[in-house]
């Protein structure tokens, strides 16, 4: 896959340049990584200059690293989410788990485990799309 550059910006204007190393889901909001800053940083949805030099990378962990994660992060990864780490060329990383492995750890009971919250989220998303369509028509 083509590696994609993204920028996360917090209210104080700190910018974090990231690169997606594998295909996967990245969060819309993360904690600002600037030292001493407690703001939340928001994604620019990849609509940024792709020539930026990233300091952090989104990656799919190896199965071994996955096993060491907390339950929340495990959930995120097994649903196709990527993890964030600082880019450090001096450190060697294990290769990411394969698509087949990811498929194996993917939860089978997605609808059951997410429950009404997921249905609510989908409904909200549909509402937003509908509202947008209506607004477009009015113009
Ligand atoms: Zn900040």
pLDDT of residue 1: 76
- All residues with CB under 5 Å from ion ligand 1: 10, 12, 14, 32, 34, 37, 39
CA 102 to ligand 1 center in whole angstroms = 33
Residues 94 and 127 in one domain: no
CA 116 to ligand 1 center in whole angstroms = 34
Residues 18 and 72 in one domain: yes
Residues 113 and 100 in one domain: no
What beta strand segments (E) does 38-97 contain?
40-43, 56-59, 83-86
Residue range 34-74, pLDDT digits in tens: 999 999 999 999 999 999 999 999 999 999 999 999 999 99
Alpha-carbon torsion (69, 75, 79, 84), positive or negative: negative
Q: How many domains does the chain have?
A: 2
Q: How far apart are CA 7 and CA 41, in angstroms?
A: 9
CA 95 to ligand 1 center in whole angstroms = 31
pLDDT of residue 22: 95
Given pLDDT bands bounded at 50, 70 and 90, which one contains residue 121? very low
Residue range 66-106, pLDDT digits in tens: 999 999 999 999 999 999 999 998 999 999 999 999 999 98
Q: How far apart are CA 5 and CA 18, in angstroms?
A: 6
Residues 91 and 46 in one domain: yes
Residues 28 and 79 in one domain: yes
pTM of the model: 0.76
**Residue-number span of the structural domain to which 9 is assigned:** 4-107
Residues 97 and 50 in one domain: yes
CA 88 to ligand 1 center in whole angstroms = 21
86 bridge partner residues: 56
């Amino acid at each position: 896959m083509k590696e994609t550059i993204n920028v996360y910006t917090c209210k104080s204007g700190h910018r974090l340049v990231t690169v997606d190393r594998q295909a996967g889901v990245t969060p819309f909001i993360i904690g600002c990584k600037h030292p001493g800053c407690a703001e939340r940083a928001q994604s620019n949805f990849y609509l940024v200059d792709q020539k930026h030099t990233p300091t952090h990378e989104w990656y799919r962990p190896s199965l071994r690293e996955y096993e060491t994660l907390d339950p929340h992060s495990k959930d995120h990864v097994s649903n196709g989410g990527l993890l964030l780490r600082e880019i450090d060329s001096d450190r060697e990383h294990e290769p990411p788990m394969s698509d087949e492995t990811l498929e194996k750890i993917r939860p089978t009971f997605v609808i059951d485990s997410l429950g009404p919250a997921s249905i609510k989220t989908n409904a909200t998303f549909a509402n937003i799309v509908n509202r947008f369509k209506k607004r477009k028509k009015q113009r």
